[in-house]
Amino acid sequence: MFDKILIANRGEIALRVIRTCKEMGIKTVAVYSTADRDSLHVRFADEAVCIGPPPSSESYLDIPKIIAACEITNADAVHPGYGFLSENAQFSKICGENGIKFIGASPEMIEGMGDKASAKATMEKAGVPCVPGSPGLLKDLAHAKETAKKIVYPVMIKATAGGGGKGMRVVWSEDEMEEHWNSARQESKAAFGNDGMYMEKFIEEPRHIEIQIAGDRYGNACHMSERDCSIQRRHQKLVEEVPSPFMTQKLRKAMGKAAVKAAKAVKYEGVGTVEFLVDKNRDFYFMEMNTRIQVEHTITEEVINYDLIKEQIKLAAGDKIEGKEYIPQLHAIQCRINAEDPHNDFRPSPGKITDYHEPGGHGIRIDTHVYAGYVIPPYYDSMISKLITVAQTREEAITKMERALEEYFIDGVKTTIPFHRQLMKDPEFRKGNFTTKFMDTFKIK
């Protein structure tokens, strides 16, 4: 087992990792930018190293500085959390070359899954259901038009380097193709320095359901059931839950089997997520594979009663997975509380939290790094906390969430709490009747 882990991240996830390390008897090193001097991850870690000024590019994304911090503190492993360097193949490689265990995927895995067209080709070959589409990249506009005719409109063109919806366009008919083809390629080139595009049949009003997986270095893999992440806005998840209200035991079995097949096909090591689109007929299609711990891992932890960060660290150290089957017996919901103004197009609202009161009681979990007096810096993402409820049924988990949101007071900055209060009362949400289009028509009161 590792002696000392450096956490190459900030905020709630840095704290989350430090807590598990402490429980495992592993020493911890925090790194921080000058904007995060007063952060709890700095105070709770055994050691802390300042790695630069506030901009991420000069601190949390600066690979040489993080390697140097490992060297001066003698850390033998790095936990990257989510975001920042968690899916950076170069960082994974450099850690390995310096004898530091990267608690995440290999550089080859990150590269293979980061290129969406090649990830899809790998999954298709392994027998994982994929959206019908172009076999590989599109050569040019003529090839795009020809392929779309075969697939039948509407189609979607997607950037192979994409993610978060960038470089992605729905095309409803041939006369729209040229315009979308050009703009998607331009956007992709600017964002990723790569304008490779592929095509898929457009799935209308899908649900976003993902499967948590784990694999060990001996070729074993298992899944830990699903998370429904359909409540999103501009590709930012707002609410996640497990079980999915759309799930059936038959669908869970089939999706779980497909996700394990995906993990085994690439000899996946560590914890990861296989994302699927699920259509109204409950047909499901591979979308992408995430090689990091995700923000919403918490709800899975609550329903399977298992620490996924601990699992991640143990797998990185060479442990075997138990080939156990996980069927959720409880219901968990997570609301992401962001420093954003829901009445102003979710505009970021950084600044000082002047007053803070957290809800509590049975079935409530809050993962956060903030406190009264904490200043939310404007440089990073706007998530303040994750409010999680767990109960016997979906109805109880929602009721508990309403109660928790009523008790939650954050003064000094605008937050998404009022949005979540309204969402929990929404009849369609309560019925579990939602797709990824839900937020397009949701009116904030």
Task: Return the residue of 208, 292, 386, 414 that touches ligand MV4, per CB under 6 A.
Answer: 208
Beta bridge partners of 154: none
The nearer residue to ligand MV4, 35 or 113, going by C-beta atoms, is: 113
Rounded to a whole number of angstroms, the minimum distance from the CB of residue 143 to ligand MV4 is: 18
Q: How many residues does the chain have?
A: 445
Q: Which of 9, 7, 6, 12 is nearest to 368 (CA)?
A: 12
Binders of ligand MV4 among residues 16 to 75 (CB under 6 A) are none
Rounded to a whole number of angstroms, the minimum distance from the CB of residue 25 to ligand MV4 is: 39
Task: Return the residue of 288, 301, 302, 367 that touches ligand MV4, per CB under 6 A.
Answer: 288
- Contact flag: residue 232 with ligand MV4 (CB under 6 A): yes
Q: Which of 367, 348, 373, 355 is nearest to 12 (CA)?
A: 367
The nearer residue to ligand MV4, 224 or 287, going by C-beta atoms, is: 287
The nearer residue to ligand MV4, 89 or 131, going by C-beta atoms, is: 131
- Contact flag: residue 202 with ligand MV4 (CB under 6 A): yes
The nearer residue to ligand MV4, 125 or 235, going by C-beta atoms, is: 235
Q: Which of 320, 323, 271, 262 is nearest to 297 (CA)?
A: 271
CA distance 402 to 422: 9
Candidate segments 62-70, 139-147, 198-206, 362-370, binder of ligand MV4 by CB under 6 A: 198-206
Rounded to a whole number of angstroms, the minimum distance from the CB of residue 432 to ligand MV4 is: 17
Binders of ligand MV4 among residues 140 to 179 (CB under 6 A) are 156, 165
Catalytic residue among 292, 336, 347, 403: 292
CA distances to 8, 52, 103, 268 from 66, rounded to whole Å, are: 7, 10, 14, 25
Candidate segments 62-70, 201-209, 328-336, 404-412, binder of ligand MV4 by CB under 6 A: 201-209
233 has catalytic annotation = no
Mutual angle of helices 107-114 and 89-97, in 10-degree steps: 170
CA distances to 76, 343, 419 from 443, rounded to whole Å, are: 50, 10, 10
- Contact flag: residue 128 with ligand MV4 (CB under 6 A): no
- Contact flag: residue 135 with ligand MV4 (CB under 6 A): no
Rounded to a whole number of angstroms, the minimum distance from the CB of residue 273 to ligand MV4 is: 12
Phi, psi for 400 (deg, rounded to 5): -65, -40
The nearer residue to ligand MV4, 75 or 156, going by C-beta atoms, is: 156
State the alpha helices, DSSP H only, in 266-348: 297-304, 308-316
Residues of 7-39 as b/e, b for ≥16 C-beta within 10 angstroms? bbbbbbbbbbbbebbeebebbbbbbbbebbeeb
Interface with ligand MV4 by CB under 6 A: which residues? 131, 156, 165, 200-203, 206, 208, 232, 235, 277, 287-288, 436
